[in-house]
Structure 1
Amino acid sequence: MSQADTARGEAAHDAAIDAARARAAIREGRIDGHTSGLAGPHVQGNVVILPQAWAAEFRDYCEANPQACPLLAVSQPGDPALPALGEGIDIRHDVPRYRVWRHGELVAEPTDIQALWRDDLVTFVIGCSFSFEQALLDDGVPLRHVSQGLNVAMYRSNRLTVPAGRFAGPMVVSMRPLKPADAERAARITARYPRVHGAPVHIGDPAALGLADLGRPDYGDPVEVRDDEVPVFWACGVTPQAALAAARPEFCITHAPGAMLITDLLNHQLAD
């Protein structure tokens, strides 16, 4: 087992007791990749950080697309804290890996954004499907990417989001392979969690979403779909990254796909 895998395992054990310990491991650089399967009881969030001049339009975009972009929290301009999501959260340090964008182009993937912070930046935290994964596991629904230590597979679909201002683009979906009976059960369970994407948007034929090859995800890791399984697709919080690339703000920061903010909220608190 690698040092990084050992650190993930230790942090996962700690996070079951206290999410702050998981964030501490991230700040210390012991975790710098995906957080799938980490801090199981705790809500995880996708992150978008924009200049204040773009914030109102982006909020409108999220509100127009609540399944793909369910808002959990919005910061005050220039404030790195998110008190509604956890005591001591500092968005400049508490995401394992960030993406920095300039005019729609990805220019860097740092593990800390202290040096990039500005007084006009507004942080948006969007619900993540990693949060409902614990409910699936608790009900005995197997998740192969979790058991194999992989990031979930994510794809740009042919479904378009509702435009708002300068923001528009395709819905990104995450995929989990399940046996048909488990897929039905997963749909019922996740429907109870609308603030973290809710029920699947599609079950079965990937072509219906414009996807030709599940072995080549746009984000994350490829996950095998076996002969007795069907692919199950959920709306994904990476959707805003496609909209940001099209809108081309002069500067913005997001999480790297799969590398989430771990909050103090508990998943069961979001159940409908």
Structure 2
Amino acid sequence: MSDDLTPAENNDGSSDENNQERHTQEIRHSQVSARVPEGVSRGVFSTGAVVLQGGHEFILDFLLRISTPQQVVARVVLPLGVVPQMIRALRDNLNNYEKRFGTPTIPTPLPPQVTSSADSINVGPGMETPASKEPTPPVSDAVSGASASGMGAVGETMTPESGEEQQSNPATVNKPVEAGQKPPSAEELYDELKLPDEMLSGDYANAVRIGHSATEFSFDFITTFFPRSCVSARVHMAAPNIPRLLDSLTHSFEQFQRKVAQQQKRQPPQQGDQPGNL
């Protein structure tokens, strides 16, 4: 008596083996037609990013450093294979941007302008322009760095992990940074950032779509799951911040590759890999 089992046939004459083949077929669909949920369509604006390395993924924390406390506005989780693809796509977009608009640069902040009464224009008979007076120096606002005549220049410092600029405490604006100063740890950095509980797990994406205009870059982070691709996060950044984001991604991925190479060298060869063993 044979132990072989004959596949059962369905009513249409097809066997279960054929049905299994249909269920395991490869499905491909385009990212261009990715669905954009209503809560994601507007996107979030970011002024900087922190790149974190995990054991099997990269985490991108997009920051908003305009308000206090500084906060994480989007957290995106990318698998390892997507990171080099994003680096190449971002580099190509930046090259195309520079060919059309030139190198994106951060404008130098101007000092606050004080308007005196002599700058006013009087119209009508008998409306003489009063004599000019010495302009009154603006009164500094110690909380926000603003002045009575307009926004003043707020001091900025560099974050070693991301290479981005962030607003510093007004009390330490003029404090010089020592050359041998130790960069802050991840714990110290995130103690100053507001990270909502609902954002701790982040938004997963296994594809990235990048576009740009004359002033900003847009990132659509996409999940390419069946039956339809979907945008899980959308982030906008000003064009001058893109070169530093590209440098941070490239440096972090190269550092990850070196770490993996060192770990592979430390691992002893398996018994089956030794010469002379079959």
Higher relative contact order structure (alpha carbons within 8 Å, sequence separation ≥ 6): 1
TM norm structure 1: 0.22
TM norm structure 2: 0.21
Radius of gyration: which is bigger? 2
